[in-house]
A and B are shown apart, each in its own frame.
Chain A
Amino acid sequence: MKILIIEDEQDLSKSIVSYLKEQGYLCETAFDYYSATEKIGLYDYDCILLDITLPGGSGLDLLKYLKANKKSDAVLIISAKNSLDDKIDGLQSGADDYLAKPFHLAELSARLAAIIRRRNFNGSTLIEFNEITIDTSAKIVFIQNEAIELTKKEYELLLYFIINKKRVISKNAIAEHLWGDEIDMVDNFDFLYTHIKNLRKKLDERGCPEYIKSVYGMGYKFSEL
């Protein structure tokens, strides 16, 4: 999967590249409007991560350029301008999703995977991890080809874990993914723990090994032993 990251903050760009590379993505970067136009013109990407405010021009113009040239690259806007107008403008101009800064890298990875899944009409909507298979179009989870019943939150949690497998995900990132940023619970992750416990139990009942590991109390990691 080839990704172009158009972000003028090099520190942020580096973080994104570092995280996504581990996920198996091929990453290229552009730090300003012109190098971005150049790269977009020359190559095709599976997804473009696009910042709105760029030196030399607006990310929204790049979006229009893509559409005008009938490029089919998926676009995920990452913007500091957390304003409704930008979000609406961006989505109306053909962006696939919008992520406001600051964001968790795990969240970015999940959104990216979702976009690519949606875009990938011909391909499979199945995500596999050992004996676990998730049918993302039907939102059903199979363990050894047998469907298991999960609540909506447990399903989202499992999908999030598998997309970000082998990575440590902070409790903050998980909470934000499941409940959005509306519920303020910085000092209380108790009910997050309840959901994880329930998911663990359901996986355990179906004979899965302990995939969900707690990492020093600051987060969780979904991986094989």
Chain B
Amino acid sequence: MKLLNRYSRVHIISAFIVMMLSSIAYYFIIQSILLRQIDKDLKVEEAEILDYIKLNNKLPLASDYKHQQIKFEASASNDITREIIDTKEISVHHGNYEPYRRLSFPVAVEGTVYKAIVYKSQVETEYLLRMIVGITGLISLVLFAVIFIINRFVLGKIWQPFFYTLSRLKNFDLHSKQSLQLPESRVEEFNDLNKSVTQMALRVTKEYESLKHFTENASHEMQTPLAIIQSKLDLLIQSANANQSEPLQSIFNATERLSKLNQTLLLLTKIGNNQYREVELIDFKELVTNKFCQFEELIKSKDLQTHLNVEDCKIFMNKDLADVLINNLLSNAIKHNVDGGVIECSLSASEMTISNSGSEVTVNKAQIFNRFYKGDNSKGSGLGLAVVKEICDAFNVHIMYSFGSMHQVTLVIPTQSPY
């Protein structure tokens, strides 16, 4: 849930609960105050009647006003108790039942006991209460509206720097070499946040840079010892005997693998460092066709069938990297093929797919573009497709791998050149 929505919801729910509770409390308090007022009026009436009887020694006249009626009933028994109750009577004026407050008490006039009854209408009270509840409801509605508007517009504005920071962070790219710049805010917390985030980004960038330099330097430093090993091996085989040939061949192969691995790591680092900046319009059709020719011997040695379906396709890319890209894709398609298998390659202006036969079980689709990921039977360095992915990323080419009946790699070529 979004922060502002959550905030609004909490706000509105709590306001609603408070309003409800206070309305209920308000209702009962007002009701009891009004009731007390009526009771007080009834007692005043009682006192007046008693005073009248004491003074005149006769019952006052029964009266029937709109809100107050006084009746006297002759009573047979003497056990009339004084009581105040709520009752409903037919209103003389309105002809329907209306709530009344009734006070009955005994009065004695010349030895006869009467039951004096005073009714006071509660209609007014009910009306008042209804008004109060209505007004409360209205105020609640206005309050909700105000809260909603504040949350919707004012809060959004207040949190603006936060959302700006968030969007900048989302777009923050370690590769881009652009430092994270965040504006000053009038809110202290946001300034704090921006400062921490900027510092963190700076630290991360520095770490990343030093890591990249480390990889590059390490690869460079390895070249020289490798060169020494290789040169000594070249000299060693001049005088080697039959017994030494097998270990020597192993050392040759291992050295070559190490050297290739090293070169590939260096290549990955350089792509990451954006060191291949010169781009030109590459004719993929020509490149792909040439690569198939270049690999002809390998293809023949595995007895592979090739199906080429190439149309014009041009893309802005670094020339060397484009070469490496197609090279790795094609050599993968050959390497991971079965003897007598098939390679299919189709190229259009917007898409390139290269498929090859081979067994499925050995490949984990999610990790296939990861560095040093290898299928169970792979003898490669595990870097070929990582390089491919890195090159694609650098030139906004989307790459996918799937397995239907064949291994298939699809490149979606961007129509708009980023350069």
Q: Report which A residues bind B (CB closer than 8 A).
A: 9, 11-12, 15-16, 18-19, 80-85, 100-106, 167-168, 170-173, 176, 181-188, 190-191, 194, 215-219
Contact among B230, B240, B275, B331 for A103, CB-based, below 8 A: B230
Question: Which A residues touch B276, using CB under 8 A?
Answer: 84
Q: Are B237 and A218 in contact (CB under 8 A)?
A: yes
Beta-carbon contact of A170 and B234 below 8 Å: yes
Q: Tell me if A170 and B233 are in contact (CB < 8 A).
A: yes
- Shortest beta-carbon distance from B253 to chain A in Å: 5
Once the chains bind, are A168 and B226 in contact (CB under 8 Å)? no
Bound-state Cα–Cα, A216 to B246, Å: 8
Residues of B close to A82: CB separation below 8 A: 223, 263, 266
| A18 x B235 contact (CB < 8 A) | yes
Determine the distance from Cα of A101 to Cα of B380 in the docked complex, in whole angstroms: 21
Q: Can you report 16 residue pairs joining A to B where beta carbons are below 8 Å apart?
A: A9-B227, A12-B224, A15-B231, A15-B232, A18-B235, A80-B223, A101-B223, A101-B226, A101-B227, A102-B223, A103-B231, A170-B234, A183-B298, A184-B380, A186-B256, A217-B245
A9–B230 CA distance with the chains assembled, in angstroms? 13
Give the residues in chain B near A104, CB-CB below 8 Å.
Answer: 230, 234
Q: Does B203 sit at the interface, judged by CB under 8 A?
A: no
In the complex, A75 Cα to B133 Cα: how many Å? 101
- A216 near B301: Cβ-Cβ < 8 Å: no
CB within 8 Å of A: which of B29-43? none
Q: Which of A102, A106, A185, A218 contacts B249 (CB 8 A)?
A: A218
List, in ascending order, chain B residues with CB within 8 A of A80's CB.
220-221, 223-224, 227
Q: Which residues of chain B from 198 to 233 have any CB-CB distance to chain A below 8 Å in the complex?
A: 220-221, 223-224, 226-233
Q: How far is the CA of A82 from the CA of B253 in the complex (A)?
A: 21
Interfacial chain A residues near B275, Cβ < 8 Å: 83-85
Which residues on A sit within 8 Å (CB–CB) of B380?
Answer: 184
Q: Which residues of A contact B270 (CB under 8 A)?
A: 83
A215: which of B230, B237, B259, B297 is its contact (CB, 8 Å)? B237
Cα A30 to Cα B183 in complex, Å, equals 57
Within 8 A of A (CB), among B287-301: 294-295, 297-298, 300-301
Q: Which 8 A-B pairs have the closest CB atoms?
A: A216-B245, A15-B231, A80-B223, A101-B227, A102-B227, A105-B234, A102-B226, A102-B230
Residues of B contacting A187 with CB < 8 Å?
A: 253, 379
Q: Does B365 contact A (CB under 8 A)?
A: no
Given contacts A82-B266, A84-B276, contact A184 B240 (CB under 8 A): no
Are A11 and B237 within 8 A (Cβ)? no
Is the CB of B252 closer than 8 A to any CB of chain A? yes
Set of chain A residues within 8 Å of B249, measured between Cβ atoms:
170-171, 217-218
Q: Per-residue CB proximity of B347-384 to A under 8 Å, as 1/0?
A: 00000000000000000000000000000000111000
Q: Chain A contacts of B231 at CB under 8 A?
A: 11-12, 15-16, 19, 102-103, 105
Across the interface, do A191 and B301 meet the contact criterion of CB distance under 8 Å? yes
The reply to whether A183 and B331 contact each other, CB–CB distance below 8 Å, is yes
- Shortest distance from the beta carbon of B84 to any chain A beta carbon, whole Å: 105
- In the assembly, what is the distance between CA of A185 and CA of B300, in Å? 14
| Complex contacts, B259 vs chain A, CB 8 Å | 102
Residue of A11, A15, A18, A181 most packed against chain B (CB within 10 A): A15
B220 vs chain A, min Cβ distance (A): 6
Given the known inter-chain contacts A102-B255, A216-B240, A217-B245, please indicate yes or no for A19 contacting B235, CB distance below 8 A.
yes
Q: Is the CB of A191 within 8 A of B245?
A: no
Q: Which residue of A lies closest to B236 (CB)?
A: A168
Q: How far is the CA of A82 from the CA of B224 in the complex (A)?
A: 11
Cα distance A81–B252 in the bound complex, in angstroms: 22
Q: How far is B236's CA from A170's CA once the two chains are assembled, in angstroms?
A: 11
With a cutoff of 8 Å between Cβ atoms, the chain A residues found around residue B257 in the complex are 186
When chains A and B are docked, how far (Å) is the Cα of A191 from the Cα of B257? 19
Is the beta-carbon distance between B227 and A170 smaller than 8 angstroms? Answer: no
B234 engages A181 (CB within 8 Å): no
A173 to B381, CA, bound (A): 19
Residues of chain B within 8 A (CB-CB) of A170 are: 233-234, 237, 249, 252
Chain A residues with Cβ below 8 Å from B252 are 170-172, 218
From B224, B234, B297, B331, give the contact of A19 (CB < 8 A).
B234
B253/A172 in contact, CB under 8 A:
yes
Asked if B77 CB lies within 8 Å of chain A CBs, one says no
In Å, the complex CA distance between A100 and B260 comes to: 12
B272-293 interface bits toward A, Cβ cutoff 8 Å, 1 = contact, 0 = none: 0001100000000000000000
| Residues of chain A lying within 8 A (CB to CB) of residue B256 | 172, 176, 186
Cα–Cα distance between A155 and B39 once the two chains are bound (Å): 126
Interface centre among B252, B256, B294 (most CB of A within 10 A): B256
- Is B235 touching A105 in the complex (CB atoms < 8 A)? yes
**A217 contact set on B, CB distance < 8 A:** 245-246, 249
A102: chain B residues at CB < 8 Å are 223, 226-227, 229-231, 255, 259
Q: Which residues of A contact B244 (CB under 8 A)?
A: 216
Shortest CB-to-CB span from B232 to chain A, Å, is 6
**Of A19, A168, A190, which is within 8 A of B301 by CB?**
A190
Question: What 0/1 readout, one digit per residue, does chain B (142-160) give for beta carbons within 8 Å of chain A?
Answer: 0000000000000000000
Residue of A nearest to B257 (CB): A186
Nearest-neighbour CB distance to chain A for B367, whole angstroms, equals 21
Contacts of B242 in A (CB 8 A): 216
**A contact residues around B255 at 8 Å (CB):** 102
